[in-house]
Amino acid sequence: METGCWLLGGEFEDSVFEERRERRPRPPESYRAKRCEPQWFYEETGSSDDVEALTVQKFKGDLAYRRQEYQKALQEYSSISEKLPSTNFAMKRDVQEGQARCLVHLGRHKEAMEIATNLENKATNTDHLTTVLYLQFTICSSLQNLEKTIFCLQKLISLHPFNPWNWGKLGEAYLNLGPALSASLASSQKENSFTSSDTVIKSSFPHSGKDYLLCFPETLPESSVEVSSGNKQKNEKVLKDIKNCMTEERAAVLLETQMKACASFIRTRLLLQLAQSQQTSFALERNLRTQQEIEDKMKRFSFKEDTLLLIAEVMGEDIVPEKLRDEVHTEVKCVGPAALTSLAIGSSEEFEDKWFRKIKDHFHPFENQFHTEIQILP
């Protein structure tokens, strides 16, 4: 073929016609996995990478926390927080959470809550918000503040309504809240005193933030402590009626919290029963054990069978296998701080109105005591 007929790039390289080098079989090199000895991060790494050095320091803080050396762990976390670049959001959140948990164990709850509130304001997805709410729950539980603990659980449930364990914790919190509210109400009522200008006694309901008025009859003399003998019997009757009314109020408060606890436990049991068919081993054992514990707790309530059936119907209206499956495989919602606030409830009243209103309407005789003024007639 003539030289002019060669196409551009069509020439063969000389290396194509060279003989290949003979390959001699060699035994394969053994695989050596990198081993990290216990507490390897206490050794001198000699790394010039600032991020790696801070990561090693964080491991030291985590180990100190595991050993319950909370002051030492706090020092490690605080040192890291000062050195971290502002762009390292992930480690910043981890370190701040570590600081808050150390502060809780050290009894510095106010500082811990400030960190948790800051983390909540900077949350950008549902995972961040869920983690922060669990942190706030830990802080409030350590403070034994039942009302704030309940509100944290309510916000968690508003994000994950099909999580049975949060519902179970909410039921326990309501169980503890009932006697506490009743005792607080009794104590505040004992402290009430009548002055010369008293025509109304204010009885504060700590569970609602509202004042309920106990109104005296118009004929009651203004000097309500030192009364004439002619009005003595009438005022004794009024005071007796007040005492009975206060007793009924305490009973109503206790009943309401028991109802909420019962509804929360029933919701827990329904969710566990739905997940039971997909569980095995220790997960199934825990499920069945929790259901039995709930059954034992239910015996403490004095609700009739038709009331329990009504509660189960209301608390299970939205429980269907498809919804539960979607909840398990839900994606993380990255919606930003502003939009996240709309996913969580704004108040405890909003949550209770959504979940317990239909049940509370079943208790009409007691409902009047929660939402109306109590008139004491002569």
DSSP 84-152: S-TT-HHHHHHHHHHHHHHHHHTT-HHHHHHHHHHHHHH--SHHHHHHHHHHHHHHHHHHT-HHHHHHH
pLDDT above 50 for 32: yes
Q: In whole angstroms, give the CA distance from residue 163 to residue 272.
A: 9
More confident residue, 267 or 332: 267
Percent of the chain surpassing pLDDT 90: 45
For residues 167 and 160, the answer to whether their CB atoms sit within 8 Å is no
Residue 363 has what pLDDT? 72
Each residue of 41-79: pLDDT tens digit? 667 655 556 788 888 889 899 999 999 999 999 999 999
pLDDT above 50 for 222: no
Beta strands in the chain (DSSP E): 200-205, 210-215, 374-375
Q: Which residues fall within 8 angstroms of residue 8, CB to CB, at 6 or more apart?
A: none
Phi, psi of 309 (to 5 degrees): -65, -40
Is the pTM here over 0.75, yes or no?
no
For residues 166 and 157, the answer to whether their CB atoms sit within 8 Å is yes
Residue 249 has what pLDDT? 76
Residue 135 has what pLDDT? 97
Average pLDDT value for the chain: 78
pLDDT above 50 for 10: yes
Q: CA geometry: angle at 52 spanning 46 and 55, to 5°?
A: 120
Q: Which residue has the tokens 């030291």?
A: 60
Residue 193 has what pLDDT? 43
Residue 364 has what pLDDT? 59
Q: In whole angstroms, give the CA distance from residue 216 to residue 372.
A: 16
